[in-house]
């Protein structure tokens, strides 16, 4: 069984595009001009696997032949399933750095050299597992949101002396806080029932019971805002206010909220909420220059918001139904048996409108082999009361991630068979407000096809399909159970997701 590419991103260095692709624990850089894999990085093992070297350091860069581990590692238990998986991947706006998040809660920053090679610069372990990450337009700040509802800002390139544990002027280290032994507040004088007396007696017998102390993060960071629900996504948007550009952080959570907060350093100010969803909101995407926000999640509809005014501008009611119709028209006979709608991705990609570039919004759902498209011009110019026209394109497998270079978009598919393509390149042609999908082969981009072929030929075998499902398909788990207790609505994520 082959491992799909769970994350893909295109960066440009000196007019040469490179495809950054995450396949399990491996991050590869492939030239889209020559089709050559120029760099590969492999994430280290988790702390509980015993696969780390004696001195924790960056992951292994396979293009650096001179670097060798200090001691020979055990290989009997080494496997792709015991290595940290890459769960998020993004690039800075200037394409000089990439940020990858692994499932061991570590945020890793890479320098992208002019020849496309990767060099890991830093690794910072967050207190909880990140669920969304973005580099701000200043190319120096990372926004990082975790599943427990907190959003942090981190410097893209941390300073060596930015540790929160600074040595004293005499060179000595500050004393560590020692945990105090646990002492029950109750006594035999205050407890009278037989059951409570037994509980108190059991507590008194625990001699070494100590309270846990929370260690501060040992790197520069700022807590910007927090949700009381499970955070699902965030995006950064800007607009002109009083003649100046102002930044905003737009966040979404499991409890149907879309919150608009001011950007740093005023992120404690909540501007308002975009309310209307009745199920979880898993993805939000701001459209630059239009004050529009596209949202989706567990509802059968997509929302297009006038986010500065917190109003729902259009509601694409038939999104779920039209998705099933597209599958039937594409020859899929079991379209009615599809899972409930769970939006897994909303992207902005380039399209071709009568020979000129035009942006397109692309939406994918978890475990559903269909993409929905809508030109940004349709969203921007549609009259009130008239729902913008959406197009649908069925595929053989569900789409995991989407990226673009020029007018070409690259699609990553959830296919686990070696006989199917895990990556595909295509173009979007817009005619009369509708999108047609054209394969790259039909427009003669031989170098692009060579790069895609090279990426598809790389093998990464997996044996545990359950672990693969947990990595690729977790959006639907946000749906609340029927007749669920109110307290369970705010259940914390499992301990392994902290």
What is the per-residue pLDDT for 168? 46
Pair 247, 237: CB distance under 8 Å: yes
Give me 492's structure tokens. 């914390």
In terms of DSSP bridges, do strands 106-112 and 118-125 run parallel, antiparallel, or are they unpaired?
Answer: antiparallel
Burial of 377 (0-12, 13-18, 19+ CB in 10 A): middle
- Helical spans, DSSP H, in 254-410: 319-329, 376-381
What is the per-residue pLDDT for 208? 52
In terms of DSSP bridges, do strands 130-135 and 141-146 run parallel, antiparallel, or are they unpaired?
Answer: antiparallel
Give me 380's structure tokens. 């921007």
What is the per-residue pLDDT for 101? 98
What is the per-residue pLDDT for 74? 44
What is the per-residue pLDDT for 205? 72
Nearest-CA neighbor of 252 among 373, 340, 155, 131?
131
Residue 432's Cα: distance from chain center in Å? 33
Q: In whole angstroms, what is the distance from residue 102 CA to residue 129 CA? A: 9
Nearest-CA neighbor of 312 among 349, 281, 267, 268?
281
> Which segments within 97-149 are labelled E, that is strand?
97-102, 106-112, 118-125, 130-135, 141-146
Nearest-CA neighbor of 101 among 497, 475, 386, 405?
497
Burial of 356 (0-12, 13-18, 19+ CB in 10 A): exposed
Q: In whole angstroms, what is the distance from residue 402 CA to residue 346 CA? A: 9
Kindly state the greatest CA–CA separation across the chain. 86
Pair 287, 302: CB distance under 8 Å: no
What is the per-residue pLDDT for 57? 45
Domain boundaries, the chain: 1-66+81-125
Tens of each residue's pLDDT in the chain, 498 residues = 789 999 999 999 988 999 999 999 999 999 998 889 999 999 997 544 333 333 334 555 555 444 445 544 444 444 444 789 999 999 999 999 999 999 999 999 999 999 999 999 999 999 999 999 999 999 999 999 999 999 999 999 998 764 444 444 444 445 555 556 666 667 776 777 878 888 878 877 765 555 556 678 889 999 999 999 999 999 999 999 999 999 999 999 999 999 999 999 999 999 999 999 999 999 999 999 889 999 999 999 999 999 999 999 999 988 888 888 887 776 665 655 678 899 999 999 998 777 777 899 999 999 999 999 998 988 988 777 778 888 898 999 999 999 999 888 999 999 988 778 899 998 888 776 566 676 554 444 667 777 888 888 876 777 688 889 999 999 999 999 765 544 444 444 444 555
């Amino acid at each position: 069984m082959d491992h799909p590419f769970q994350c893909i991103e295109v960066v440009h260095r000196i007019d040469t595009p490179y495809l950054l692709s995450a396949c399990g624990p491996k991050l590869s850089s492939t030239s889209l001009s020559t089709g050559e894999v120029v760099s590969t990085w492999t994430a280290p093992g988790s702390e509980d696997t015993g696969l780390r070297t004696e001195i924790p350091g960056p992951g292994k860069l396979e293009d650096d032949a001179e670097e060798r581990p200090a001691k020979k590692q055990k290989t009997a238990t080494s496997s792709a399933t015991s290595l940290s998986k890459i769960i998020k991947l993004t690039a800075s706006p200037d394409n000089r750095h990439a940020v990858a998040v692994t499932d061991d809660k570590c945020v890793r920053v890479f320098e992208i050299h002019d020849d496309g090679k990767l060099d890991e610069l830093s690794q910072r372990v967050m207190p909880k597992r990140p669920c969304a990450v973005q580099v701000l337009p200043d190319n120096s700040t990372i926004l990082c949101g975790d599943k427990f509802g907190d959003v942090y800002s981190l410097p893209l390139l941390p300073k060596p002396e930015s540790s929160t544990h600074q040595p004293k002027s005499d060179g000595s280290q500050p004393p560590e806080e020692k945990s105090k032994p646990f002492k029950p507040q109750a006594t035999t004088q205050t407890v009278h029932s037989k059951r409570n007396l037994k509980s108190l007696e059991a507590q008194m017998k625990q001699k070494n019971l100590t309270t846990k102390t929370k260690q501060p993060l040992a790197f520069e960071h700022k807590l910007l805002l927090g949700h009381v629900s499970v955070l699902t996504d965030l995006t950064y948007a800007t607009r002109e206010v009083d003649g100046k550009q102002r930044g905003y952080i737009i966040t979404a959570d499991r409890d149907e909220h879309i919150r608009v907060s001011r950007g740093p350093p005023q992120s404690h100010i909540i501007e308002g909420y975009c309310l209307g969803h009745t199920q979880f909101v898993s993805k939000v995407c701001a459209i630059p220059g239009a004050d529009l926000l596209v949202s989706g999640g567990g509802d059968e509809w997509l929302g297009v918001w006038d986010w500065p005014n917190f109003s729902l501008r259009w509601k694409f009611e038939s999104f779920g139904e039209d998705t099933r119709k597209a599958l039937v028209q594409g020859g899929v006979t079991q379209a009615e048996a599809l899972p409930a709608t769970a939006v897994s991705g909303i992207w902005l990609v380039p399209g071709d409108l009568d020979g000129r570039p035009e942006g397109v919004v692309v939406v994918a759902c978890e475990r559903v082999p269909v993409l929905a498209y809508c030109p940004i011009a349709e969203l921007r110019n549609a009259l009130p009361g008239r729902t913008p026209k959406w197009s649908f394109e069925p595929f053989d497998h569900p789409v995991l991630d989407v990226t673009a270079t020029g007018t070409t978009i690259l699609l990553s598919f959830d296919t686990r068979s070696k006989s199917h393509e895990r990556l595909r390149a295509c173009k979007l042609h817009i005619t009369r407000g509708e999108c047609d999908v054209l394969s790259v082969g039909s427009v003669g981009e031989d170098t692009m096809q060579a790069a895609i072929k090279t990426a598809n030929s790389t093998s990464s075998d997996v044996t545990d399909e359950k672990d693969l499902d947990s990595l690729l398909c977790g959006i639907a788990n946000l749906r609340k159970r029927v007749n669920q207790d109110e307290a369970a609505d705010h259940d914390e994520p499992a301990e392994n997701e902290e």
